[in-house]
Structure 1
Amino acid sequence: MIVTDKKTQTNTLGDWAAIAIDKHLEKVIKHEANVLKDKSPEDLHQMRVGMRRLRSAVTGFAPALKLPKAAQEKKIGKIARILGTLRDLDVLQAALEGEYKPSLPSNEQKDLATALDDLDKQRRNAVTAVKETLHSKSYKSLKQSLTKWLQQPKYQAIAQMPIEEVLPDLLLPEVSKLLLHPGWLLGKEIKQAEIETVEQLLAAEGEVLHSLRKQVKRTRYQMEVFSDFYGEAYTAYLEDVKSIQEILGKIQDGAVLADFLLEVSDKEIKHSSPTLANQLAQKSYEAWQQWQNLQQRYLNIDVRKGFHVAILEPSIGSR
């Protein structure tokens, strides 16, 4: 692949767009062969990360880019979702086999073994879908069109602007979506709640937190695209965003696992696997307590203002 010469002076929005796209496309291609061989869950994970960050770069730099149709954000997103389906099954399988199964009583282990057989079938189908996708015309066109674009990038007029002058305009819309999400208000009045109370709340309103997590993820990836241009304050907010994603992910993982077991056994997990149900409830409760600390922090007006200020002040000499 012919890449942008990173030794030349890179000051403009367009310069950095090409560097970001090149970096993440290279990561995607690096792991492709091993993913096709279904060699290692880590290769799949890294390829999925590369594809997600490629999508974030294309989205984040969108005002500066003239990309071919085969490399549009929707095309990248479709491939990323197919990789994501297989990755989610791998994570679920690892959690069930390595984290939960060893501590369950024998009768629940037998039921879980049946669920794992079903999971294995789903995984085989997902592997087939990934292989078909990576052999598809659309995926090959995506790689070829981006490689060709990197040889001679085409830009919108705004691409010639110095990147430090436009960074806040690129970042603030996504951060505003994050801070305005209704998930911040979910259960904010609940203090030191019992596990059962949190269970009921998550059962009724868990989708709101799941939606917030997706927005957090989008914000994180976009912030990471531009992290080279900021200092300590920005880095601290980025670390918060990562923590929020991780904590909400723990809550979501419990819901996904319970839904999967309901799907394969047609029984509520409390009835089919009470020990496992208690373990999941305890983990979700612990994650909820962690979440409440960050929730209260980001409902503080000074913290929210500080987030905006951190974005408004790029560190020009940080590169």
Structure 2
Amino acid sequence: MKSDSKQSANTLGDWAKIALEKHFQKTIQYEEDVLSDRAPEALHQMRVGMRRLRSAAKGFAPALDLPKAARQSQIGKISHSLGSLRDLDVLLETLESGYKDTLPDQEKEEFKRALTLLKSERSHAFDAVRETLNSEIYLSFKNSLADWLNCPSYGEMAQVPIQYILPDLLLPEVSALFLHPGWLLGIKTKKGQVKIDNLTETEVEELFAKQGETLHDLRKQVKRVRYQMSLFTKFYGKAYSEYVEDLKEIQEILGKMQDGVVLTETLSRVLGCNLQDSLPTLAEKLLENRYLSWLEWQPLHQKYLKPEIRDHLRLELLYPNLPSNSKKSRKKKKKG
């Protein structure tokens, strides 16, 4: 089945193949540019393709019988190598475009030394990516998945009409998201009510020092749910798409907070001392920007703590678009 055959796709297996093919083609189209190190955007797009490919392999797992070389674990190993290089690209771009011209003269030499050290690390990270993309693991992954797409092998659930099984695929992921302890950071409970606590910049920094990893893990869970839900927008309405957009925004805001943490930790490591001692102006600006991102997070945090919002999302997932005769049957059963 080709990617342009969505009109005839009905089963879970049909849509699994469409998703895998789409993200596989996106991944490999950037391979040459990544190997030649031509542009950071090519690396970014290839990494996104691998992440979405892994998400599709997980989301459609009940319908798939993938070869070992093309399963989630192998995709994850390749994606990890790309991710390390991409993270350094983001750090360097952020430092050079966002902070370089804001520092006093007395900090510029130390800042320049930090950039030199990070560029050296990036060079090693690129060597690792080149080794990965020329490795037997990557070649086997490409060949195995290409062979599977030409002659797919499915699991037992593949023949089930996709509309009937979507709630069972999506609800466990959303439930895991809502149960994540990251939602509890920066809130207070009183008489059974959950409310956002108005934390100061100092309190936010103390929270990050103790539980920053929990908030980072929440972002990763948001991303997983967003990727999975994005696979199925065709089967739901406007409200569903709006939830997907909210998840994207949450991911980006939490990502900005995490970027500040990573920048601080990475610069302290490469410079061999506390960032506050070596680049105090930069350290202060990173703290300020993290706090601004924290404030940006609060409205969405508050929104998704509300029981009615969570209930509405769950109900939305329960009723994907069905053929007209099935909708009538569903309504009769609900009335009964």
Pairwise CA RMSD = 1.6
Structure 2 residue 232 is matched with structure 1 residue 226: yes
Q: What amino acid sits opposite 2:208 in the alignment?
A: L
In the alignment, the residues of structure 1 paired with residue 155 and residue 270 of structure 2 have an alpha-carbon distance, to the nearest angstrom, of: 51
Unaligned runs of 5+ in 2: 189-195, 324-336
1:209-241 Cα offsets, whole Å, 9 max, x none, are: 011111111111111111221111111111111
Aligned residue in 2 for 1:110: 109
1:56-107 Cα offsets, whole Å, 9 max, x none, are: 1111000000011111100001101100100000000000111101111112
Aligned residue in 2 for 1:298: 304
Structure 2 residue 79 is matched with structure 1 residue 80: yes
- SS state at 2:206 partner: helix
1:152-181 Cα offsets, whole Å, 9 max, x none, are: 111112100110000111111111110000
Identity in percent: 54
- SS state at 2:30 partner: helix
Q: CA deviation at 1:281?
A: 1.0
Aligned residue in 2 for 1:10: 9
Structure 2 residue 211 is matched with structure 1 residue 202: no
Q: What amino acid sits opposite 2:102 in the alignment?
A: S
In the alignment, the residues of structure 1 paired with residue 271 and residue 147 of structure 2 have an alpha-carbon distance, to the nearest angstrom, of: 50
Aligned residue in 2 for 1:277: 283
Aligned residue in 1 for 2:272: 266
Larger deviation, residues 117-126 vs 199-208: 199-208
Q: Does the 8 Å contact 2:3/2:22 carry over to 1? A: no
In the alignment, the residues of structure 2 paired with residue 290 and residue 5 of structure 1 have an alpha-carbon distance, to the nearest angstrom, of: 39
Q: Does the 8 Å contact 1:4/1:150 carry over to 2? A: no
Q: What amino acid sits opposite 1:200 in the alignment?
A: E
Unaligned runs of 5+ in 1: none
Higher Cα Rg, which structure: 2
Q: Does the 8 Å contact 1:55/1:76 carry over to 2? A: yes
Aligned length: 317
Larger deviation, residues 134-143 vs 261-270: 261-270
In the alignment, the residues of structure 1 paired with residue 148 and residue 63 of structure 2 have an alpha-carbon distance, to the nearest angstrom, of: 14
Q: TM-score, normalised by structure 2?
A: 0.91
Aligned residue in 1 for 2:125: 126
In the alignment, the residues of structure 2 paired with residue 48 and residue 5 of structure 1 have an alpha-carbon distance, to the nearest angstrom, of: 24
Q: What amino acid sits opposite 2:22 in the alignment?
A: K
In the alignment, the residues of structure 2 paired with residue 138 and residue 3 of structure 1 have an alpha-carbon distance, to the nearest angstrom, of: 26
- SS state at 1:94 partner: helix
In the alignment, the residues of structure 2 paired with residue 313 and residue 235 of structure 1 have an alpha-carbon distance, to the nearest angstrom, of: 14
Q: Does the 8 Å contact 1:12/1:163 carry over to 2? A: yes
Alignment of 1:117-266 (within 5 A): 117-189=116-188, 191-266=197-272
Q: Does the 8 Å contact 1:244/1:294 carry over to 2? A: yes
